[in-house]
Amino acid sequence: TQFGDLLEDTSAVSPEQSVLTLLRSEELDDLIGQLDDRTASIIKMRYGIEDGRERTLTEVGKQHGLTRERIRQIEKHALLELKRMAHDTGFDAAA
């Protein structure tokens, strides 16, 4: 037995953590699903939720036919709304 084999790998994700991450992801999807379609799309694009690629305000604005400033305003409002919904459902307590 090598000494390194006896040490715990602190970078490994525990099964419990994997399950919690998955549940939080599903809960976040549920919360985003409560937003209107345009707002949900903006949040998903900005944070790369569907494809892992985060978009800039300008990129999202071009996709939606809006200015980058309007996208910023919608995003800010949506994040506040998501925070409120998370608090109301108790989701933020688990994070």
Calculate mean pLDDT across residues 19-38. Answer: 83
| Summary mean pLDDT of the chain | 84
Closest CA to 39 of 94, 95, 9, 82: 82
pLDDT at 27: 86
Instruction: Give the pLDDT confidence score for residue 17 in this predicted structure.
Output: 66
pTM for this predicted structure: 0.73
Rounded mean pLDDT of 8-23? 64
Q: Go through the domains of the chain in sequence order and give each one's CATH number.
A: 15-94 (1.10.10.10)
Q: What is the DSSP letter of 13?
A: P
Secondary structure of 44-72 as H, E, C letters = HHHHCCCCCCCCCHHHHHHHHCCCHHHHH
Q: Do the Cβ atoms of 45 and 63 come closer than 8 Å? A: yes
Note whether 83 and 92 are within 8 A (CB): yes
